[in-house]
Amino acid sequence: MHRRRENNKDDVGLGTRGVWAGEKGKYWERATQIPVALSVSFGYYDVNEWLAVAQGKRPGHIYSRNTNPTVAAFEEKVRNLETAEAATSFSSGMGAISNTLFALLSPGDRALFPFRTPMEGRTSCL
């Protein structure tokens, strides 16, 4: 059986990395590509196993709004193509903007946004 190896940016081309980065291991029911995960939640045998995943002590997924196997493969492709330490993705622009603000600001901080800019609209209501 052919086994894929994790691609290194130094020994394969950009196209190969774009196709194969993030795709490793066996796929569900012998699929040849990463299946699209339509599950909202993921099951575990007991609460301790769930807690280990939730705390990042063990790999896995809890809830698809946060992570799922399809998104994890996409993020690994982006990380590999950008030769970055990590990558993250969002389902909307508002998700990306609010995540960035929540990461950079603390409770009580103030942020100033110019009026009548591309950030106008619902974004300015944050």
pLDDT tens digits for range 29-45: 667 777 788 888 888 99
Domain span at residue 126 reads 91-103+113-126
41 and 66, same domain (yes or no): yes
For residues 120 and 7, which has the higher predicted lDDT (pLDDT)? Answer: 120
How far, in Å, CA of 58 to CA of 113, rounded?
39
21 and 58, same domain (yes or no): yes
- Which H helix or E strand runs over 72? helix 69-81
How far, in Å, CA of 17 to CA of 2, rounded?
18
Residue 39: C-alpha distances to residues 36, 60, 62 (Å): 9, 13, 10
Model confidence at 117: pLDDT above 70: no
Tell me what the pLDDT averaged over the chain comes to: 79
Residue 3 lies in a domain: no
Confidence (pLDDT) at 36:
81
Residue 7 lies in a domain: no
Q: How confident is the model at residue 104 (pLDDT cuts 50, 70, 90)?
A: very high
How far, in Å, CA of 33 to CA of 56, rounded?
26
Residue 42 lies in a domain: yes
Lowest-confidence segment of 15-24, 35-44, 85-94, 111-120 by average pLDDT: 111-120
What's the mean pLDDT in 53-71? 87
Model confidence at 118: pLDDT above 80: no
What's the mean pLDDT in 87-105? 87
58 and 96, same domain (yes or no): no
Asked if residue 11 lies in contact with residue 21, where contact means CB atoms within 8 angstroms, the answer is no
Which residues, 6+ apart, have CB-to-CB distance to 104 below 8 Å? none
Confidence (pLDDT) at 73:
86
Confidence (pLDDT) at 121:
59
Confidence (pLDDT) at 25:
67
